[in-house]
Amino acid sequence: MTKNSFSNRLLDWFDQHGRKDLPWQQHISPYRVWVSEIMLQQTQVSTVIPYYQRFMARFPNVSDLADAPSDEVLSLWTGLGYYARARNLHKAAQIIINDFAGNFPGTVDDIQSLPGIGRSTAGAIFSIACGGRAAILDGNVKRVLSRHGAVTGWPGQKSVEQTLWAMAETYTPEQRVADYTQAIMDLGATLCSRSRPQCEICPVSADCQALALGQQSDFPGKKPRKQIPVRQTTMLIIENPQGEILLQQRPGSGIWGGLWCLPELEVDASIEDFLTRQLNSSGRIQPWAQLRHTFSHFHLDIHPIHIKLNREPGCVMEGESQLWYNGQPQQKIGLAAPVKKLLNAAVQTDLLTEAQI
């Protein structure tokens, strides 16, 4: 099989069956493609679409994004996860304004120099939006190529990744690179899916080695399993007499960097002492059911405790960036996903309480 045979069959399939109506495929520009590619990292298309539409409505160009407060950027990312993507997107926009005179970089190397952009993302932006030739190797493409060549091993291993990159470079055509890039991503997202691949209608199945072996489910190789550790934390849902809830902003880096979260109680610390020391107040204390939030590398078991203060706090907590959250639209802040769940639960609890009075 020649590389032209692979790419030609894929392009013929794309012309008839490829996705061409996604929001970022309309009015294509490097900025629009870049935002979509960052959002699509480890996130499904159906999840991304509404986030992308809201994000682009608010930040239609790189200048608008660069000038925006980080809180507003994170607020539009709330619920999408992997928040470092949003922080890097914001930082990269500012670099484009300051170092590239507001023009999106026009080479793969310059694109890849921006925060949050790796080799595959840079290749996708360059090929789709800039008209250049560059290979890509995202998760969908890894699956297609691993199966087609029966490449053994987990793609996260350096040697396996190098083999797949060599295949990706070989099969990327000289012409219609933008269509080919979208085509191979579409193939992995639709027909060559993780489970129950539709090999009978795949355009490149005739020489797929995994299919010939009857071992499609064995490729790509699985990541070596290891036990995911579990961490514990206690989050305080502190509500003042006006129904506002105390939030603190986390440091710019690390887990939930830059997002607004609920205060966390140190292990073995007394809630009453915390309220007296930090807020010079007291209140009704009610533990809630445990909530588990799973990150890529650990589980976090959250023990929420709802505290309804019986009087206005007499002081503010020292050394913290904080606010009293009332849920109004003008409070455009980024919230960690489990914090948003707990805030919504607090609102429902208040509504139930009011209904019972």
Query: Which of 184, 218, 252 is a domain's end point?
Result: 218
In this structure, the answer to whether residues 83 and 191 fall within a common structural domain is: yes
Instruction: State yes or no: pLDDT of 313 exceeds 90.
Output: no
Given this model, what pLDDT does residue 357 score?
Answer: 30
In this structure, the answer to whether residues 80 and 140 fall within a common structural domain is: yes
Q: Name the band, by pLDDT with cuts 50, 70 and 90, for residue 267.
A: confident
In this structure, the answer to whether residues 80 and 183 fall within a common structural domain is: yes
Query: Which of 218, 244, 277 is a domain's end point?
Result: 218
Instruction: State yes or no: pLDDT of 158 exceeds 60.
Output: yes
In this structure, the answer to whether residues 198 and 313 fall within a common structural domain is: no
CATH code: domain of residue 120 = 1.10.340.30
Quote the percentage of the chain above a pLDDT of 90: 81
223 burial (CB, 10 Å; 0-12 / 13-18 / 19+) is exposed
Question: 102 and 62 in contact (C-beta within 8 Å)?
Answer: yes
Active site residues: 37
Given this model, what pLDDT does residue 148 score?
Answer: 98
Q: How many alpha carbons fall within 13 Å on the CB side of residue 59? A: 27
Query: For residue 17, which of 144, 198, 145 has the smallest C-alpha distance?
Result: 198
Instruction: State yes or no: pLDDT of 310 exceeds 50.
Output: yes
How many domains are there within the chain? 2
Does residue 225 fall inside a structural domain?
no
In this structure, the answer to whether residues 242 and 305 fall within a common structural domain is: yes
In this structure, the answer to whether residues 260 and 207 fall within a common structural domain is: no
Instruction: State yes or no: pLDDT of 287 exceeds 80.
Output: yes
In this structure, the answer to whether residues 129 and 267 fall within a common structural domain is: no
Convert the chain into a string of H (helix), E (strand) and C (coil): CCHHHHHHHHHHHHHHHCCCCCHHHCCCCHHHHHHHHHHCCCCCHHHHHHHHHHHHHHCCCHHHHHHCCHHHHHHHHCCCCCCHHHHHHHHHHHHHHHHCCCCCCCCHHHHHCCCCCCHHHHHHHHHHHCCCCCCCCCHHHHHHHHHHCCCCCCCCCHHHHHHHHHHHHHHCCCCCHHHHHHHHHHHHHCCCCCCCCCHHHCCCHHHCHHHHHCCHHHCCCCCCCCCCCEEEEEEEEEECCCCCEEEEECCCCCCCCCCEECCEECCCCCHHHHHHHHHCCCEEEEECCCEEEECCCCEEEEEEEEEEECCCCCCCCCCCCEEEECCCCCCCCCECHHHHHHHHHHHHHHHHHHHHC
pLDDT digits (tens, 9 = 90+) for 100-135: 999 999 999 999 999 999 999 999 999 999 999 999
Structural domain span for residue 256: 230-356
In this structure, the answer to whether residues 119 and 190 fall within a common structural domain is: yes
Q: Name the band, by pLDDT with cuts 50, 70 and 90, for residue 29.
A: very high
Given this model, what pLDDT does residue 316 score?
Answer: 62
CATH code: domain of residue 293 = 3.90.79.10
Q: Which residues contact 89 (CB under 8 A, 6 or more apart)?
A: 35, 38, 65, 73, 116
Quote the percentage of the chain above a pLDDT of 70: 94
Does residue 122 fall inside a structural domain?
yes
In this structure, the answer to whether residues 176 and 35 fall within a common structural domain is: yes
Given this model, what pLDDT does residue 192 score?
Answer: 98
- Kindly report the pTM of this predicted structure: 0.83
In this structure, the answer to whether residues 192 and 255 fall within a common structural domain is: no
Given this model, what pLDDT does residue 354 score?
Answer: 40
